[in-house]
């Protein structure tokens, strides 16, 4: 599906090249098309999120149980769905690796962590996640 979306995007770029000289605002049109495509792709990827999303699960659980304590809410989750799957994603993305019984952040992972730190500092956000 991702390949199909990419092919569709490239097709759109080719159409733009062909129609370039007929467009009143070709640069604006191209930039708007690229941004719209990125938005579509972003929303598509967001919809395919896997793993347990705590907020969704917690809020949904209140539809059937109006009042819950902490222990009851914890039973909604598994370590596998909440943590292991995400650790697997980080390993797969090369941001961490498993070495001598512990997880180690790679150089790429350090870069991402550093970017997050700077983003939080610039935009005064209290924490990540």
Residues near another protein (CB under 8 A) are 1-2, 24-28, 31-32, 35-36, 38-39, 42-44, 46-49, 53-56, 58-59, 62, 66-70, 73-74, 77-79, 82-83, 86-87, 89-90, 95-96, 102-105, 109-110, 112-113, 116-117, 119-120, 122-129
- For residues 14 and 125, which CB has a smaller minimum distance to another protein in the complex? 125
Q: How far is the CB of 94 from another protein (least distance, A)?
A: 12
Encoding tokens for residue 102? 């512990």
Distance CA 124, CA 116 (A): 11
**Cross-strand pairs, 99:** 102
Q: How far is the CB of 81 from another protein (least distance, A)?
A: 9
Q: How far is the CB of 88 from another protein (least distance, A)?
A: 10
Q: Quick check: 66 and 49 in contact, CB under 8 A?
A: no
**How many residues in total does the chain contain?**
129
Q: How far is the CB of 6 from another protein (least distance, A)?
A: 14
Exposed / middle / buried, residue 119 (Cβ in 10 Å: 0-12, 13-18, 19+) = exposed
């Amino acid at each position: 599906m991702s390949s199909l979306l990419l092919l569709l995007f490239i097709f759109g770029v080719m159409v733009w090249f062909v129609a370039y000289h007929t467009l009143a605002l070709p640069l604006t049109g191209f930039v708007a098309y690229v941004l719209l495509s990125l938005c579509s792709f972003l929303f598509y990827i967001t919809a395919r999120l896997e793993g347990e999303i705590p907020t969704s699960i917690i809020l949904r659980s209140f539809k059937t149980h109006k009042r819950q304590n902490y222990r009851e809410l914890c039973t909604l989750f598994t370590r596998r769905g909440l943590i292991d799957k995400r650790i697997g994603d980080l390993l797969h993305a090369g941001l961490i690796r498993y070495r001598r019984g512990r997880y180690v952040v790679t150089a790429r992972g350090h870069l991402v962590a550093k970017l997050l730190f700077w983003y939080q500092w610039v935009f005064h956000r209290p924490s990540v996640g």
